[in-house]
Structure 1
Amino acid sequence: MAAPRQRRTAPKAAGETAAKSAAKSTAPASDIARRRMERRQASGRRSDARWEEILAGAGRVFTRLGYGQSTLEDVATEVGIRRATLYYYVGTKEELLVGLLHDPIETMRTRLEEVAAQPDPAPERLAAALREYVRTMAELPELFIFLSENVHQVMSGPEADHIRENADRYGRVLSQVIKSGADAGEFRDDIDPSIAVLGIIGMFNWIHRWYNPEGERSLADFGEVFIEMALSSLAPKG
């Protein structure tokens, strides 16, 4: 039997593979990213500035009314645009929440990873990580919206995958810091690190329920007290 005839294909032009890879890497990762890119390409800086205005307005509305009670019409009124104009940028309230939280959640995660990678003892890395947590909350008040909502339920679509992944990764990295301390004898070894993380982060996350920016103590002041409590609870017995 004769060997099957092979089809000859023209060699790819130089750089074609690299170009495709580059295009793939810069392609929007979600519908909201695609929509934002399309709007910016269509209208340039004006569209980009309008999107930032919409996000800022959404943040104010979600903070004032709560995410669950807010509507796209509330956001449109806050920004001073028609509802039809808002729909030109987003189709759902979830897209606005994703847009608000995308960068802050990633910032929090990257700051933790930088601290966790340091060669310092685990107690120092944990304290530094929690200080960064508090600092990020102070710098990026959008995170208070994240903390006041059950994001895993609110954000059910694929557009929120990036936020969920960053939040989960944050917990894993912090758990690794605590485990390394237990392995080195710097922390007690009779507590599951993942459970310790739930308790510590839960303590910090609850700040949004009662913290008053106009009060006598700053967010950093409360953070230092909580850090001391966390370190004391993990200190080796005896």
Structure 2
Amino acid sequence: MFQATAKRVLDENLLEATSIANLETPAHEKLRLLIELQMTSYAANFPYVYVYIQEDMGKVAYQTTPWARDMVRKTRRFESIVTEVITKGVRDGEFREDLSPQVVVKALFGMVNWTHRWFKPGVRGHRADQVIETFSALLYDGLKRR
């Protein structure tokens, strides 16, 4: 049941990420939407996604089951969508050329995936919209071409 839930969430997120990437909007808007997608998905699917990130995500890459291979392939596809958005932002002159898109993607996923340690939906503290706005501002202000 846990694996089916994790797969469903990743499938839904991948479909939505593909739609976001195809929008005719600036790259920084797409990145904000991608961050929003991840955070709202985490909040809506709490605690399953958090458990997956904390307990299973690092182990899945080393497993050979069909489910694990599928999850790795889809996770890599999601990362490639984000990389494509950032790369297009650089090509279009919206983002800085001196930053590696691959490193920016790792930084973004590091920020978002680390939230499982401190962001708990429905518990006092930070709201998903605050996290989305803060992460988006940090990323965009660091990426925007000066």
**Normalised by the size of structure 2, how large is the TM-score?**
0.89
1:176-215 matched pairs, under 5 angstroms: 176-213=84-121, 214-215=123-124
1:232 equivalent to 2:137? Answer no
Partner AA of 2:92 in structure 1: A
C-alpha distance in 1, partners of 2:94/2:141?
11
Highest CA radius of gyration, 1 or 2? 1
- Preserved CA contact (<8 Å) 2:60 2:68: no
Could you tell me how far 1:104 is from its partner in structure 2? 0.5
The residue type paired with residue 121 of structure 1 is P
**Ranges in structure 1 where 5+ consecutive residues have no aligned partner:** 1-54, 56-96
Q: How does 1:38-187 map to 2 (within 5 A)?
A: 55=1, 97-141=2-46, 142-154=48-60, 156=63, 157-187=65-95
Amino acid at match of 2:43: A
- 2:52 is aligned with what amino acid? F
Provide the C-alpha distance between the structure 2 equivalents of 1:113 and 1:167, rounded to a whole number of angstroms.
Answer: 13
What is the SS of the residue equivalent to 1:206? helix
Is the alpha carbon distance of 1:101 and 1:153 closer, same or farther for their aligned partners in structure 2, counting shifts above 3 Å? same
Q: Counterpart of 1:22?
A: none
Listed as ranges, the gaps of 5+ residues in structure 2 are none
Match of 1:25 in 2: none
Identity of aligned residues (%): 23
Letter in structure 2 aligned against 1:159: W
8 Å CA contact 1:98, 1:163 repeated in 2:
no
Number of aligned residues:
142
In the alignment, the residues of structure 2 paired with residue 233 and residue 117 of structure 1 have an alpha-carbon distance, to the nearest angstrom, of: 23
Measured after TM superposition, the shift of residue 154 of structure 1 is 4.0
Question: More displaced, 153-162 or 198-207?
Answer: 153-162
Tell me the residue number matched to 1:74: none
Larger RCO, structures 1/2 (Cα 8 Å, 6+ apart): 2
Distance 1:234 1:150, change over 3 A: farther
> Is 1:217 the equivalent of 2:126?
yes
Q: How big is the shift at 1:227?
A: 1.0
For 1:146 and 1:193, the matched residues in 2 are separated by 26
2:118 counterpart letter in structure 1: W
What do you get for the CA RMSD once the two structures are aligned?
1.6
Rounded to whole Å, the distance in 2 between the matches of 1:138 and 1:191 is 30
Q: Which amino acid aligns with 1:131?
A: E
TM-score (norm 1): 0.56
